[in-house]
A and B are shown apart, each in its own frame.
Chain A
Amino acid sequence: MSILRVPRVLRGGEFGSVLAIAMIALALLGGAVQLQATREQRFPPPDGGDEAMYIRSAATLRRLSGAYTALAADGYWIRALQYYGGTKRRLQGLEWVPEPPPMLKALTSDNYSLLYPMLDLASSLDPRFTIAYRFGAVFLAEAYPRGAGRPDLAVALLEKGVRAQPDKWEYMEDIGFVHYWYAHNYRAAAGWFQKAADIPGAPWWLRSLAATTLAQGGDRQSSRIMWEAIRQSAAIDWLRQDAERRLQQLKALDDIDNLQQSVDAFMRRAGQPPADWLTLVRARVIPGVPVDPARTPYELTAEGRVHLAASSPLAPLPEEPRQIDAPEASPR
């Protein structure tokens, strides 16, 4: 009986009416999609309008998520990633970049202001969420506008990780790294590298990194050794690529120093700055137009100063290392 019933629907006028209804439904759906597109074009939704955190208490979220706290932590981690990526893209798309948030003060800028609360929630809901601590610290410490420019919050997040897992040398290494690279506090960095090296299972090079950092502070060669170690030990492509980019930046700093010496020597001889790179090429000071490791030509200003091009993927270059004079912050 049921076999007979199906073809009967598809016969004659009924088939036509089903087809007509399907066409009408499709047309209505198409109309709805078109209207939505028109509305978004004429009345664009506010950029970043979804950036709100209704619940900031980890205890409340833990209650609400019940047996699924780890999944809630994953949700907040994914949201933090999207928030960081979206904010970074938006800021890098702006010609005028707002003033960076003040260091060592509460976040007052709207940009990245939700990053730490999101990472804090993710790591509170899942205290062993390694990547939320390690990547989160990079996002927080990275100089504005590529990151929040808050090494203090990055250290706070990683210290929370150390409290949750006291034998996790990776967090201690990362704290040392944040002190070294972003805060330029080499004594604190050396202290944390040493602390990490004391944990069983930590790599051997941490101990020598601690000694080098303490002895030479922000020496460029020490930075190179550290990034090379990170590149070789990075288990995640993103981290490895970031380390490769840092190494290229260090190479660019070396290139700029060497090129500046050549330009200075030319200026002493000629008594005036070179008009462009071709002037130096013709004078056989340099073999060709110099390019950075990302294959973008370096810039030569009218005053004879060598710079990395703003359009280079390596821009902005990191702040030059300083001497060991930063205030001491020994590891807890």
Chain B
Amino acid sequence: MKATVAIAVNVFRESVRDKVLYNLVLFAVVLIGASYLIGQLTAGQDIKIIKDLGLAAISVFGLFIAVFIGIGLVSKEVDKRSIYSLLAKPIHRPQFVLGKYCGLTLTLAVNVAVMAAALYAVLFYMSWGVSEATAQSWDAPALDPALLKAVGLILVELMLVTAIALFFSTFSTPMLSAAFTFGLFIVGHFSSDLRNFQDAVDSPAAARVARGLYWVLPNLAQFDIKADVVHGQPVPLGYMAVTIGYAACYITMLLVISMLVFARRDFK
């Protein structure tokens, strides 16, 4: 446990040293710049658009961090040959994989939390001094706490994407790992097409394969509640619980396989 925590903290420190947190500055600039421009353009719907933009930016920035750091978590250590000195220490290989995963998750959590706080700050600024009549025309209040549900599921989705990236990085090159991870991210958002594949093809066998893939591949569309939250639609806690439970199972499965692959890997 101690070794896992040490590795996780080290991954976080390394990401700070690699200036990963600089993306927060970019996020703030994008959001503040956009809020000014959109305020001039959108005829009273700036709050809705700022929420859309902020949530999408949290997701995109997080995705890039998850993929591009996730794919290097293991391969970087191998390339730099620092894996030899690490494994010579009293660290089990599963602890190494778990520590790496937890470290990147910590980085993502800090990023997402800061970006969410920046989004609320911009929304507070945009809604300051707005008349009550205008505020009533919004689908949801500007500082709607329900936004945190969308942010929470974005973080959970990013944790799943990180697990996918880490899984590929245990046995593949960074370039291929990135391609596979992005591929799964895209497929994961169109899984409903796989479910309804029988409507598009005549072959029952192809439909069965598609349906099988639908159940096996990560279903990322369920983490996307951005539009619901922005429009003030209720997102039941039961839905949140089931979705987070799904992610927990999938992440655990990926980590177990990653540990297994990494444990059997020969670095000679």
A-side residues, CB < 8 A to B, are 63, 66-71, 73-74, 77-78, 81-82, 126, 128-131, 135, 233-238
Contacts and interface: CB of A to CB of B under 8 A. Distances in A.
B42 A66 contact: no
A57 B106 CA distance: 40
Given A128-B139, A235-B134, A67 B220 contact: yes
B43 A70 contact: no
Contact of B44 (A71, A128, A238): A238
A129 B230 CA distance: 10
A74 B230 CA distance: 12
B45 A71 contact: no
A73 B52 CA distance: 10
Given A67-B224, A68-B56, A77 B189 contact: no
B42 A81 contact: yes
Contacts of B45: 77, 131
A70 B52 contact: yes
Of the four ranges (under 10, 10 to 19, 20 to 34, 35 or more), the interface on chain B belongs to: 20 to 34
Q: Which 6 pairs, one residue from A and one from B, show the smallest C-beta to C-beta distance?
A: A235-B137, A236-B44, A70-B227, A131-B45, A128-B231, A71-B56
B230 A70 contact: yes
Contact of A78 (B38, B56, B133, B220): B38
Contacts of B60: 68
B117 to A, nearest CB: 21
Nearest to B132: A235
B52 A78 contact: no
A244 B264 CA distance: 76
B169 interface: no
Contacts of B190: 63, 66
28 contacts: A63-B190, A66-B186, A66-B190, A67-B189, A67-B220, A67-B221, A67-B224, A67-B226, A68-B60, A70-B52, A70-B230, A74-B42, A74-B53, A77-B42, A77-B49, A78-B42, A78-B49, A81-B42, A126-B227, A128-B233, A130-B139, A131-B42, A131-B48, A234-B133, A235-B134, A236-B44, A238-B43, A238-B44
A71 B52 CA distance: 6
B137 A70 contact: no
Nearest to B228: A128
B119 to A, nearest CB: 14
